[in-house]
Amino acid sequence: MPTVALFVPCYVDQLYPQVAVATLRLLERHGCRVVFPPDQTCCGQPMANAGQAADAAPLAIRFLDTFAGYDHVVAPSGSCVAMVKHQYPGLAPDHPKLEEVRSRTFELCEYLHDVLGVRRVEGRFPHVVGLHRSCHGQRELRLASGSERQVPPFDKVKTLLSSLTGIQLVEPARTDECCGFGGTFAATEEAVSCLMGRDRLDEHAKAGAEVITGVDMSCLMHLDGLARREGRPVRIRHVAEVLLGEAT
Amino acid sequence: MTAPATTPAAPTVHPGGQQSGPFPGHPAAAARFIADVDRAHWHDQALWFVRVKRDRAAAQLPAWERLRDLAQAIKAHALSDLARYLEEFERNATAHGAVVHWARDAEEHNRIVHQLLAERGVTRVVKSKSMLTEECGLNPYLEARGLEVVDTDLGERIVQFRHEPPSHIVLPAIHIKKEEIGELFHDKLGTAAGASDPKYLTEAARGHLREKFLGAQAGLTGVNFAVADTGAVVVCTNEGNADMGTALPPLHIACMGLEKLVPRSEDLGVFLRLLARSATGQPVTTYATHFLGPKPGGELHIVLVDNGRSALSGRDPFRRALSCIRCGACMNTCPVFRRTGGYSYGTTVPGPIGSVLGPTQGPGAHATLPFASTLCGSCADVCPVRIDLHHQLLAWRKELVLGGFAPVGKTLALRLTAWVFASPWRFALAGRLARLALRLLPRGLMATLSGAWGKQRDLPPPPPESFRDLYRRTHGRP
Ligand code: SF4
């Protein structure tokens, strides 16, 4: 039984605890012993992506110190995991645990699919669901083959979702276009960010999605914020909540 | 590689009512474009259509990803030994009777071209699309000296009529609707009022351009590829205007950036297949003309332009941007470009690659460009030569922050946030306060406080406790 350290991104911890709970329960259901190291805070992505490497580096070091020594580190977030995997070598190049932690850190679906070898998730989710493929999961972690590349098609998140009982997955017309969140982009380029988000909501609505799900709560927070403001009927759920299924 | 070298750090000003005064930065220019949502959506659809065509064309080649690998490797190799390949190219081109000129910057390029024309008494020039001459500001330079320069590519001619620069490197008039072109042609070419049929308008432009071709005393072209082992320059067009423009006049001047060099003729097979498919979704451009020496009785002059390129080749990681073959695919796929238009970048080359190249010319004037991206990475996956565009944008952000070009308010806010995150108890406390504020403050006030987030978006309803509190309550402290 692997011991999994749960990494809960800062804003998920504070604003979406139910997503962390769902992640924890899902991992336990698939045979993991899960712990939450309390010294964790934030992976440093907001600073790193704004170009503030000096501000991100101490957070990268804290992360590596906190998560060293576990079998695996799992997070319900594609972009935070991409941060650890791809940006930490530049931020904390000399940290003794860098390689160990990097190579053992996974996004939730990636972990279930690749490490635990899960192809079927027991559960029921009888709704029409649109999958939002967030960019960092898509193009940094390669959770799916991607519309730009000519490689054999695969989609790890979709594989897991489609195994749920009763779920009906629908595709937006532009299968993997960005929602416009982009971290601080959501504020500095507010106009474009919101237009992109509304366009995503429109395409999911056109496809008939009642629920939009994805691996990054940040993108979903942006979509949810737009949908709430306009009173759109769509519900936004993190993939961990969907995979946990609805109690029957 | 963007603004004319005479004013390297000055913001590019776009006429034609798009922008006046100094470049306001991407967010402001973008917001202005988006204010007309229907137009932004129309622009987005037009470019997405091209992206879809590109996807289909790429899917037809089973070896697509392998071709991209090859293209990347060939370019990397050529750039690593550029001096030798340039000399080889010069030797071979000269042996075939072409004259090779070297220009350090835009100013020198313009001077060389003007001198060649003036010495031969040329006053009427036809040009086939070249972003390099756009970069160097050649048209205004020649016009100020009394020459008539006619851009013969249809899209280029349209923006030239409107006194605008191209808004896209492959689709220069993509921002203009066909009804607007109808009005423009009615005004300039006397076509029927209210006409918007593309075929009719294209015919009218053709007739007009034919006259220009017939009357031209020199033809100017850009260069898509220069081949070191033969000395040939290759120009790709769909309208055949490079061929028309160089077939009649005795003088052909081909202007190229140093980075256009490929080592061998065989390499062209890789690039020609990638270029057209990436640019427009065609299997190959209609015309890919190889110019090897001048035509009988004519002259061929090749101007090799540096204008910052050799400096860039010494800069990691930005040197990879020199591999760009100017297909425009990164613009067509970029969700920000599609919705904000080429002029929102304020550079000759806009979009993802333009946001990498822009700051190399003057970081201050182009400081907002590397931030005009969500780092979604679609550009890098589309790029036929595999330039890691979004990683280069990230690298630029770091340089701009170090150079003091990032907005101070944002930098400080993130620094403060990092300080809060540096300690678990500060983080927990700040979170508790934020959730309390979310719960207690009226929605309107929260929207104001949350600034750019709250203008069009709601904040999530706050949960009663954070995960860490909940976990401690249920699991105890480990
Ligand atoms: S960066 Fe790549 S995709 Fe963009 S124009 Fe250049 S070659 Fe094309």
Instruction: Note the pLDDT tens digit of each residue in B341-359.
Output: 999 999 999 999 999 999 9
Residue B189 tokens, joined: 């070419």
Q: Are B386 and B72 in contact (CB under 8 A)?
A: yes
Cα within 13 Å of Cα(B222), Cβ side:
24
Inspect the interface and report whether the beta carbons of B467 and A189 lie closer than 8 Å: no
Q: How far is A200 from chain B (nearest CA, A)?
A: 11
Angstrom distance (rounded) from CA B335 to CA B302? 37
Distance B46 CA to ligand 1 centre (A): 18
Residue B15 has pLDDT above 80, yes or no: no
**DSSP one-letter string for B382-421:** H-TT---HHHHHHHHHHHHHHTT-S-HHHHHHHHHHHHHH
- Say if the Cβ atoms of B376 and A139 lie within 8 Å: yes
Which chain B positions have a beta carbon within 8 Å of A47's beta carbon? Answer: 414-415, 417-418
Given this model, what pLDDT does residue A136 score? 96
pLDDT of residue B3: 34
Query: Are the beta carbons of B457 and A15 separated by less than 8 Å?
Result: no
- Residue-wise pLDDT for A207-223, tens only, equals 999 999 999 999 999 99
Across the A:B interface, residue pairs with CB atoms under 8 Å apart total: 217
Q: How confident is the model at residue A73 (pLDDT cuts 50, 70, 90)?
A: very high
pLDDT value at residue A147? 97
Q: Which residue has the higher pLDDT, A127 or B361?
A: A127
CB B264 within 8 A of CB B215: no
Taking alpha carbons only, the member of B271, B327, B456 closest to residue B51 is B327
Q: Which atom of ligand 1 is found nearest the CA of B169?
A: 5
**Rounded distance, CA A41 to CA B331, Å?**
37
Identify from A13, A14, A136, A151 which residue to disrupt to test chain B contact, counting B C-beta atoms within 10 A and taking the largest count: A14
| Residue B1 or residue B208, greater confidence | B208
Amino acid (one-letter) located at B332: N
**Residue B21 pLDDT level (bands cut at 50, 70, 90):** low
Phi/psi for A128 (5° steps) reads -85, 120
Query: pLDDT band at residue B411, thresholds of 50, 70 and 90?
Result: confident
Residue nearest to atom 2 of ligand 1 (CA): B383
Instruction: Kindly state the helix (H) or strand (E) to which residue B301 belongs, with its residue range.
Output: strand B299-305
The distance of B108 to chain A (nearest Cα, Å) reads: 36
Are the beta carbons of A135 and B377 separated by less than 8 Å? yes
Report the percentage of chain A scoring pLDDT > 90.
98
Answer yes or no: is pLDDT of B443 > 60. yes
Quick check: B9 and B362 in contact, CB under 8 A? yes
For the stretch B290-322, pLDDT in tens is: 999 999 999 999 999 999 999 998 898 899 999
Across the range B244-263, mean pLDDT stands at 96
CB–CB of A177 and B335 under 8 A?
A: yes
Distance B354 CA to ligand 1 centre (A): 9
Query: Which pLDDT does position B4 carry in this prediction?
Result: 34
Whether B2 has a pLDDT exceeding 70, the answer reads no
> CB of A11 within 8 A of CB of A221?
yes
Q: How many CB atoms lie within 10 A of CB B393?
A: 24
Smallest Cβ–Cβ distance between A47 and the set B37, B336, B414 belongs to B414
Q: In angstroms, rounded to a whole number, what is the distance separating the alpha carbons of residues B261 and B158?
A: 30
With CB atoms and an 8 Å threshold, state whether B335 touches A13: no
pLDDT at B10 over 70: no
* Ligand 1 residue neighbourhood (C-beta within 6 Å): B 278, 324-330, 353, 382-385, 387, 389
Shortest distance between the Cα of B225 and any Cα of chain A, in A, equals 25
Record: contact A182-B374, CB cut-off 8 A: yes
Residue B9's pLDDT is what? 31
Q: What whole-number percentage of chain B has pLDDT above 90? A: 78
Q: How far is the centre of ligand 1, averaged over its atoms, from the C-alpha of B328 (Å)?
A: 5
Q: State the Cα–Cα distance between residues B238 and B31, nearest whole angstrom.
A: 34
Query: Residue A217 burial (CB < 10 Å; 0-12/13-18/19+)?
Result: buried
* Closest alpha carbon within chain A to B379: A148
Minimal CA–CA distance to A30: which of A106, A120, A162, A101?
A120
pTM of the predicted model as reported, rounded to 2 decimal places? 0.94
**Amino acid, single-letter form, for residue A71:** D
- % of residues, chain B, pLDDT over 70: 94
Residue with more model confidence, B382 or A1: B382
pLDDT of residue B448 exceeding 80, the answer is no
What pLDDT shows up at residue B452? 87
Q: Indicate the pLDDT class of residue B181, thresholds 50, 70 and 90.
A: very high
Return the biggest CA–CA distance within chain B.
91
Q: Is the peptide bond before B317 cis (omega within 30 degrees of 0)?
A: yes
Predicted local confidence at residue A234, as pLDDT: 98
Nearest 5°: phi and psi at A245?
Answer: 80, 175
Residue among B422, B455, B477 whose CB faces A58 most closely: B422
Which chain A residue has its CA at the smallest distance from B425's CA? Answer: A39
Q: Which residues pair with B221 in a beta bridge?
A: B254
Best of B325, B333, B347, B389 to mutate for ligand 1, by most ligand atoms within 8 A of CB? B325
What is the number of the ligand 1 atom nearest to the C-alpha of B353? 1
- B387 class by beta-carbon count within 10 Å (0-12 exposed, 13-18 middle, 19+ buried): buried
Report CA(B244)–ligand 1 centroid distance (Å).
27
Select from A38, A50, A180 the Cβ nearest to the Cβ of B397: A50
Sort out which chain A residues have CB atoms less than 8 A from B37's CB and list them.
Answer: 195
What is the nearest CA distance from B421 to chain A, expressed in angstroms? 6
Q: Are B196 and B184 in contact (CB under 8 A)?
A: no
Asked whether residue B72 carries a pLDDT value surpassing 60, the answer given is yes
- Chain B: nearest CA to A10, how far in angstroms? 8
| Three-state DSSP class for residue A34 | strand
Per-residue pLDDT reduced to its tens digit, B34-48: 999 999 999 999 999
Which residue from B27, B424, B459 is facing A39, i.e. has the nearest CB?
A: B424
Distance A239 CA to ligand 1 centre (A): 34
**pLDDT tens, position by position, A154-195:** 999 999 999 999 999 999 999 999 999 999 999 999 999 999
